[in-house]
A and B are shown apart, each in its own frame.
Chain A
Amino acid sequence: MANYQYCVATNWGKGFITHSDSSKLDFTSFPGNVWKVNANNQDANRWVSGVAGVRKTLSEAQAIVNAEITAAQAEWDSIPDDDERKDTSSALYIPRPEDITLEE
């Protein structure tokens, strides 16, 4: 049985996740507005519905995340090699986005 469920929902800000939600559930965000929250949990089910989240299977959520990461990696790869963003000693360095594997 899966430990987590996934949905796509846009964080509108205050009230999207409340302190009450946070005290009862474990939230993790991913690229593409993908959210991971507890499975088999009424509070979690109510939260997904309350934020108008579109439920995704694990493979559907993974595909969304993969597409975002692939695009970001391509953008990073297009940065010239002598750019400060690729210089690990620079304060402006940004690492190449890493692949993310969602868990069941």
Chain B
Amino acid sequence: MSEYREIQGATVQNIAGDGGTIEGQVWYNSSSNNFKVKTYGSGTWATGNVMPYTARDSGGFGITTASVIYGGYNPPSVLTTCVEYDGTNYASATAFPTSVQGLQSEGTQTAGFSIGGGPAYENKFYDGSAWTAKNAMDKSRTGHGSAGGPTAQTAALAAGGEPAPSQTTSSDWDGTCWTAGAAVPSWAQGTSGGGTTSEAWMQANVNSETAFKLYNGSTWSDGTACPGQHNYGGGGGTVPTCITFGGGPSPVGKAVTDMWDGSAWSTGGNLNEGRGNLHGAGTMNGSTDCMIGGGNPATPTGATNATEEWTGPAITVKTISTS
């Protein structure tokens, strides 16, 4: 019979309780006289109330209980509609000044930042009631990734996207102007991303949909490839913990969620309604708590008004038994 020490290279620790243990660890709890293991759940999606309008490729920022969703594409129309969500209900809000789709967004419900998107490639702040135009980006971007978080109005970045030559470039926002940022090491288009201007992540591109890229404030590098493909999917969270979900390539409206814990990928709960074209849709404020509104279920209409809310996995301690 194999011994745990031979397999793992170490003996099982004897601990008087559950404290100080990490995910995946097995130990002997000398207080309860049981073997224990710390496991990580998979997280789940639940339906939220339906949006008052139908769209894919819309923008969204905020948190689940205080968010803004706006613009998007409901074939054949590119939209200006804007709504706010309080965690239960949607309410109408000031329309985005121009039709926009395929954009990215950062910030909070009262300090939001709309970044790029076609056809006008404009950048605007939202203060909870009005939109204000900001300086143009050095590159036109749609289908790109972004980072900045709650303070994005003062510091943010955008990376990848289309049209050419945006795919391997990034842009930095200093609160007033956009300037050329660090080069992206490989093609990035149809991305999701998040984080801050000093620690950001970006996932998916049309040529290598599992690519995962990390930014340390000055340089982009390739991270561990995501096991699933989420081309034009959604994402939430920061560095080191984030999730990416939905997207393509086939079917476009896939439901899979993948979770990154800083060192490895694991599979999260599926979207109840698989969908793609999510890259800016909804508020992707965290790996433990985010929501999406709209997206592209692929068939038959190409857009939906369905909402889903994510609750991230909980770390739990389980007793190991022989039964």
Contact = CB atoms under 8 A, between A and B. Distances in A.
Interface residues of A, number: 33
Chain B interface SS verdict (over half): loop
A66 B75 CA distance: 21
Chain A interface SS verdict (over half): loop
Interface string B281-317: 0000000000000000111111000110101000000
A100 B299 contact: yes
Given A72-B299, A72-B300, A91-B143, A22 B101 contact: no
B50 interface: yes
Interface string A20-35: 0111001111010000
Contacts, number: 90
Contact of A13 (B42, B49, B76, B251): B49
Nearest to A79: B76
Contact of B78 (A29, A72, A92): A92
A97 B300 contact: yes
B101 A91 contact: yes
Contacts of A12: 49-50
Contacts of A18: 46
A83 B238 CA distance: 39
Contacts of A69: 299-300
A70 to B, nearest CB: 9
B88 interface: yes
Nearest to B248: A95
B252 A31 contact: no
Contact of B46 (A19, A73, A83): A19
A9 to B, nearest CB: 11
A85 B76 contact: yes
A98 B299 contact: yes
A41 to B, nearest CB: 16
B286 to A, nearest CB: 15
Residue in B49, B118, B162, B299 with the greatest tally of chain A CB atoms within 10 Å: B299
Interface in A1-58: 11-19, 21-23, 26-29, 31
Interface in B135-173: 142-143, 162
Interface in B18-72: 41-42, 44-50, 57
A23 B49 CA distance: 19
B76 A29 contact: no
18 contacts: A11-B306, A14-B88, A17-B47, A19-B44, A27-B272, A27-B273, A69-B299, A73-B300, A83-B76, A91-B102, A91-B119, A91-B143, A92-B73, A92-B76, A95-B252, A95-B298, A97-B298, A97-B299
Given A23-B41, A91-B73, 18 more contacts: A11-B47, A13-B49, A14-B49, A17-B45, A17-B46, A17-B47, A22-B44, A23-B42, A27-B270, A27-B272, A28-B274, A29-B273, A68-B300, A71-B300, A73-B300, A75-B300, A83-B76, A91-B143
Interface of A: 11-19, 21-23, 26-29, 31, 68-69, 71-73, 75, 83-85, 91-92, 94-95, 97-98, 100
